[in-house]
Amino acid sequence: MIRRNISILETTKSSLKDFNYDDFVFGVQPTDHLFLSAFKNKKWQNHRIEPFRNLSLSPNTLCLHYGQTVFEGMKAFRQENGAIHIFRPDRHHSRLNKSLDRMSMPQIPKDLFMAAIEELVRLDQQWIPRNKDISLYIRPFVIATEPRLGVKIADEYLFCITCSPMGLYYPKPVQVKIETRFIRAAEGGVGYTKCGGNYGASFYPTQKAKDEGFDQIIWTDATTKKYLEEAGTMNIMAVINNKLVTPPLSNTILDGVTRDSILQIAKDLKIETEIRRIPYEELRSEMKNGNKVELFGVGTAAVISPISRISIEAEDYFPYIEKDAIMFQLKQQLEKIRKGNIPDTHKWNHFI
């Protein structure tokens, strides 16, 4: 069994006692341990959990030059009875391997992925406090580690998992603009993967938007620049005429786990849904006519983040964000499943 082949070296000095859950920045403070596994001679080996530490890499390491970097983002939660679960790890594993395949990187066996995450979360579970709305963010990633210059597919890789406490990614409703000049992804590219290059390429237009007072941008399609695709940190959903609408998956849109969960919850609640392309002109027309439109992002980090202002070609519009909005019904149902307040009929919660 993979679990028996994971060596574990526990820290002798936890950082938890010095951590302030009432005042922290997400992603800065790691938990006490990390998982490591090396790919050499065409197989994953040397699986281990160690005290958190820095990595040592050659300046010629291929991932630093040619972009073979892939990651995932997932969460573990503590339910009200104290039980710890990881939310939909099988779905995250599938998406990770899909990204790895597109980037010509070796896939992670499911038993290794599951055992590594279970053991790491079990070891650092005290970082998920009781009676606080704090989850444990889990970051699995794979990088090419072969020390060689030259454009080639690497022969050596590192699979690593780190964790960090997480509260609300967006503590207040977000303000966005429709991006029609720059593009995030084109058909035939790697837009559907969680590879580092997708995020690096998005920084410039996103920062320009932030300089203008926005939190994020909503990307449009590369061909016509008329249809919504996704935001930089989340998939996009809307409620138009009391119908939940979201763009269809493609090779330019990330297959969001939260997106999939919300669509299923909407079906469970008998909320009408429609998966179709959404022209931004439709949003503008609906809001200009005074119709109630909800617009929000969904993602592992963002969960459900309401959008309070959207700029379309330099004109501001204000989607509906009152407490009776459908998006908050969906968010509440998702939280109840995660907290164990209602039955997990879809078996999304993977308990450790």
Task: Give the per-residue pLDDT at 326.
Answer: 98
Mean pLDDT of 270-276: 98
Kind of pairing between the strands at 303-312 and 293-299: antiparallel
Token digits of residue 314? 């330099």
Mean pLDDT of 110-123: 97
Structure confidence at residue 233 as a pLDDT band (50, 70, 90):
confident
Phi then psi dihedrals of residue 90, to 5 deg: -65, -40
Mean pLDDT of 145-151: 96
Task: Give the per-residue pLDDT at 113.
Answer: 98
Contact between 181 and 168 under an 8 Å Cβ cutoff? The reply is no
Structure confidence at residue 1 as a pLDDT band (50, 70, 90):
low
Q: How far, in Å, CA of 230 to CA of 298, rounded?
A: 10
In the predicted model, is pLDDT for residue 3 greater than 80? no
Mean pLDDT of 288-296: 96
Instruction: Give 302 or 307, the one with higher predicted confidence.
Output: 307
Q: How far, in Å, CA of 182 to CA of 201, rounded?
A: 10
In the predicted model, is pLDDT for residue 38 greater than 80? yes
Torsion, Cα 176 177 180 182, to 10 degrees, reads -60
Task: Give the per-residue pLDDT at 77.
Answer: 97
Q: What is the pLDDT of residues 12-22, one digit of tens each?
A: 999 999 999 99
pTM for this one?
A: 0.96
Where would I find the beta strands (DSSP E) of the chain?
Answer: 7-8, 33-40, 43-51, 69-71, 74-78, 84-87, 135-144, 157-166, 174-179, 216-220, 228-231, 235-240, 243-246, 273-275, 293-299, 303-312, 315-317, 349-351
Task: Give the per-residue pLDDT at 232.
Answer: 81
Task: Give the per-residue pLDDT at 57.
Answer: 97
Nearest to 195 by CA among 129, 112, 83, 104: 104
Mean pLDDT of 284-298: 97
Q: How far, in Å, CA of 45 to CA of 49, rounded?
A: 13
Residue 231 to residues 116, 173, 199, Cα–Cα distance (Å): 30, 14, 11
The share of the chain scoring above pLDDT 90, in percent, equals: 95
Task: Give the per-residue pLDDT at 168.
Answer: 86
Mean pLDDT of 271-285: 98
Nearest to 87 by CA among 290, 299, 232: 299
